[in-house]
């Protein structure tokens, strides 16, 4: 389903701001400090999970003042939907990960299926160590057993968008984290 301009504007006008830009910046600072303590001597490969991880990773990279390389991957269970099942690989990392320490950066740790599958794939592909960072942790009890190593902020269990996350393909560019009204 494609939404119209008027529908998109209406959704955003009615949405609840859950996390401000300042709060996001503080969460990224906290994550960056923890990542620096753990990985600063590892020369890690930092992988962005597209599309949602673009903005969180860009902001995080500016805070990581040690040698690292970057690449990306694109795996999704959702596409432009609000629920998903099977993991779909759209792009795998082009950098050789054999024997490397890898940090995967994603937008949100919701149920954890996607991030767990990505990390498992990287281990099977020969990474020496695999760490994961997620800007947001959605608080609920439907998670898989996997837990990311670094989490910026907790958010309530609502449909959220902004700062890399989308609402039907739109609003990744919004600075805060918003929740769709009644969703």
Domain limits, the chain: 18-78+85-161
Q: Is 24 in contact with 163 (CB distance < 8 Å)?
A: yes
Bridge partners for 154 per DSSP: 137
Residues 48-93 have pLDDT tens digits of 999 999 999 999 999 999 999 999 999 987 655 555 567 889 999 9
| CB-count exposure of residue 94 (10 Å: 0-12, 13-18, 19+) | exposed
| pTM summary value | 0.92
How are beta strands 88-91 and 160-161 bridged, if at all? unpaired
For 91, what's the count of Cα atoms within 13 Å in the CB-facing half-sphere?
A: 12
Q: How far apart are CA 19 and CA 23, in angstroms?
A: 6
- Is domain 18-78+85-161 classified as CATH 3.40.50.2020? yes
């Amino acid at each position: 389903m494609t939404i119209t301009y008027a529908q998109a504007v209406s959704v955003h006008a009615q949405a609840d701001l859950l996390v401000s830009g300042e709060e996001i910046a503080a969460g990224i600072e906290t994550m960056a400090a923890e990542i620096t303590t753990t990985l600063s001597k590892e020369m890690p490969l930092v992988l962005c999970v597209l599309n949602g991880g673009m903005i969180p990773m860009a902001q995080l990279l500016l805070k990581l003042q040690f040698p690292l390389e970057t690449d990306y991957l694109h795996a999704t269970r959702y596409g432009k939907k609000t629920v998903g099942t099977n993991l779909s690989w759209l792009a795998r990392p082009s950098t050789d990960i054999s024997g490397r320490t890898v940090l995967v950066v994603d937008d949100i740790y919701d149920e954890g299926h996607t991030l767990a599958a990505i990390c498992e794939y990287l281990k099977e592909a020969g990474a020496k160590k695999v760490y994961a960072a997620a800007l947001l942790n959605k608080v609920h009890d439907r998670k898989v057993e996997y837990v990311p190593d670094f989490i910026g902020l907790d958010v309530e269990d609502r449909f959220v968008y902004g700062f890399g996350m989308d609402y039907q393909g739109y609003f990744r560019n919004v600075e805060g984290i918003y929740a769709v009204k009644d969703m």
